[in-house]
Amino acid sequence: MTAAEYTYDDPELGRFHIRISARARRLTFRAKERELWVTIPAGAGLAEVKRAIDSLRPRLRTMISRTFAPPVIDRSFRIDAPCFHFSLSASTDSRFRLRREDEQVQLLCPEETDFADARLQEWLRKVATEAMRQRAKEVLPLRLEMLARAHGLTYSEVKVNSSAGRWGSCSGRGSINLSLYLVRLPLHLIDYVLLHELAHTREMNHGPRFWMLLDRLTGGRAQALRDELKQYRCSLF
């Protein structure tokens, strides 16, 4: 990403890619590849972008719903991550049943299931999300504690939430929030996000000292891991 581009993660709408253009006369929003992009004039800053997002939030929400229609969840749908696996399979039962064993979660569906039904799709997304939430609550707090002890860092509490705007956050009091969608990531990127938030217990901003600390915690790979994380979306799909 060039110096004329940066990103902003909105808690509700997700990631915005912000591009500065000398030719732009106003802020322009567009959807591209399941991401939101903003072109801003030279001299405009993040505060102006945030104000525009807040004023246009209903329209942006509609843009997302029309452009980023979620994939259909049917028997071919799978989530295969190192610490979470979710799949659907046919069953002779007349009701849906959830079968779970460690990181493996399988939803058994009646043979006659109509996957084109919009209400069913909404329910299936909730089921997959809740299964992911349960796994996240099992995995993430324990791993955070292990990393904190290994590096001599402390935090006041940890919570798992459903944020689709950011992978994690840390308050000034050392309270860490982690998105349940973290369990979709490779293990080394989960660790990167956890270490990122633990680093904020020492350095609350993203200044040079923060990145020096995070670089030490990640064995000199902070920037490479940060770039790799950008390939993933903080969402169910």
Query: Do residues 130 and 91 both lie within one domain?
Result: yes
Look at residue 236 and tell me if it is in a domain: no
pLDDT greater than 50 at residue 46? yes
What distance, in Å, lies between the first and last C-alpha atoms of the chain?
24
Distance CA 130, CA 143 (A): 20
Look at residue 115 and tell me if it is in a domain: yes
Region for 174 from its dihedrals, namely left if φ exceeds 0, alpha if ψ lies in -120 to 50, beta otherwise:
left
pLDDT attached to residue 1 = 40
Look at residue 234 and tell me if it is in a domain: no
Choose among 7, 1, 21: nearest CA to 53: 7
Range of the domain at 165: 138-229
* Per-chain mean pLDDT for the chain: 91
Domain boundary, last residue among 135, 152, 180: 135
Angle at CA of residue 183, ends 66 and 224, nearest 5°? 90
Q: Does 14 or 54 have the greater pLDDT score? A: 54
Q: Mapped to the 3 state alphabet, what secondary structure does 32-95 carry?
A: ECCEEEEEEECCCCHHHHHHHHHHCHHHHHHHHHHHCCCCCCCCCCEEEECCEEEEEEEECCCC
Among 9-13, 15-19, 71-75, 224-228, the least confident range: 9-13
The token pair that represents 86 in the structure block: 């979710």
Residue 26: phi and psi, rounded to 5, are -155, 170
Query: Do residues 60 and 90 both lie within one domain?
Result: no
Query: Do residues 143 and 212 both lie within one domain?
Result: yes
CA distances, 93 to each of 88, 98, 172, 192 (Å):
14, 12, 51, 42
Once rounded to an integer, what is the mean pLDDT over residues 199-204? 95
Once rounded to an integer, what is the mean pLDDT over residues 210-230? 95
Query: Do residues 117 and 163 both lie within one domain?
Result: no
| Total count of domains within the chain | 3
Domain boundary, last residue among 116, 135, 154: 135
Query: Do residues 180 and 224 both lie within one domain?
Result: yes
Beta strands at 104-110 and 84-91: parallel, antiparallel or unpaired: parallel
pLDDT attached to residue 34 = 66
Contact 153, 201 (CB under 8 A): yes
Q: Which residues contact 114 (CB under 8 A, 6 or more apart)?
A: 120
pLDDT greater than 70 at residue 120? yes
Among 84-93, 153-162, 226-235, the least confident range: 226-235
Q: Does 216 or 164 have the greater pLDDT score? A: 216
